[in-house]
Amino acid sequence: MIKVLVVDDHALVRIGIRRLLEETEDIQVVAEAENGEDALLCVKKHQPDIMLLDLKMPGVDGWEVIRRLKHSVKSIKIIALSSLSMEPWPSKVLQLGAMGYLTKESSLDEMTTAIRRVYRGERYLSSKLAQRMAMKSLEPVAESPFTILSAREMQVMLMITSGLTVPEVSKRLYLSTKTINCYRYRMFAKLEVKNDVELTRLALQHSIIEGRDDSFCDS
């Protein structure tokens, strides 16, 4: 039996995933968590094989959960869940340590396939993402300027473009404001923007963010 932990800040999403997975014979949802802090506690208590992890959550987000577990609990395998399907999000998440990446539009069949493959030690990318990346290799497409950012810079970028202040980002990531500003100015230089407004405009232009939301992480 594959033991699964579902982590999402929306109760309806967690309930929906649990009910869908109850239809399978070899997969069991052993616990649910509504935020990153609870997810880390559930890992210790329930020792799941697979974590289905929402990336965008208040407080400790999915990116930070991946970073921490990569160094402390290497046995658990993580499949990221996200509404963001454009590159470089999937690549950055896999580089950070996740074994799979699913969009929230994925079907039950695809979710169970991803869980089983990742459990066997294989990487899994949502079929739509895999197809898009395959087409990209065949057709010359302008690469997103955000691909040059590190995963940590991407996380800080998302938090800032969602409207969080530097002190708020600092508190969420347990880093000094000086360190957060260092990431900001490094991003500004790499992306050739002058301030947070231009950063947000560029992210929207390349479909890196979706309107105005909350949260999102390596150096």
Hey, what are 141's tokens? 């497409």
Q: What is the pTM of this model?
A: 0.79
Using a pLDDT cut of 70, give the percent of the chain over it: 89
Tokens 């470089």 belong to residue: 88
Q: Among the ranges 46-55, 64-73, 148-157, 197-206, which has the highest mean pLDDT value?
A: 46-55
pLDDT tens digits, 90-124: 888 998 999 999 988 888 899 999 999 999 999 99
The pLDDT value given to residue 32: 96
Yes or no: say if 64 and 85 are a contact pair by the CB < 8 Å rule.
Answer: no
Average pLDDT, stretch 36-56? 95
Name the band, by pLDDT with cuts 50, 70 and 90, for residue 214: very low
Q: What are phi and psi of 15, to 5 degrees?
A: -65, -40
Q: Which two tokens stand for residue 213?
A: 């939301």
* SS3 call for 77: strand
- Per-residue tokens: 136: 């990209």
Whether the per-residue pLDDT at 60 is higher than 80: the answer is yes
pLDDT band at 129 (very low <50, low <70, confident <90, very high): confident
Percent of the chain at pLDDT > 90 equals: 56
Q: From the centroid of its chain, how far is CA 198?
A: 24
- The secondary structure of 111-175 as a DSSP string is HHHHHHHHHTT--EE-HHHHHHHHHHHHS--PPPGGGGS-HHHHHHHHHHHTT--HHHHHHHHT-
Question: Tokens 């560029």 — which residue?
Answer: 202
Provide the 8-state DSSP code for 206. T
CA torsion 51-136-201-165 (nearest 10°) is 20
CATH 3.40.50.2300 residue ranges in the chain? 2-137
Report the alpha-carbon distance of residue 110 to residue 10 in Å, rounded. 21
Per CATH, which fold does 2-137 belong to? Rossmann fold (3.40.50)
Q: How many CA atoms lie within 13 A of 23 on its CB side?
A: 8
Q: Would you tell me which CATH number, out of the four given (1.10.10.350, 1.10.10.10, 1.10.3720.10, 3.40.30.10), belongs to the domain 145-205?
A: 1.10.10.10
- Span(s) in the chain for CATH 1.10.10.10: 145-205
Estimate the share of the chain in helix, then strand, then coil, as percent rounded to the nearest 5: 50, 15, 35
pLDDT for 149-176, tens place per residue? 998 898 899 889 988 999 999 988 889 9
Residue 44 has pLDDT above 70, yes or no: yes
Question: For residue 48, what are its two tokens?
Answer: 């799941």
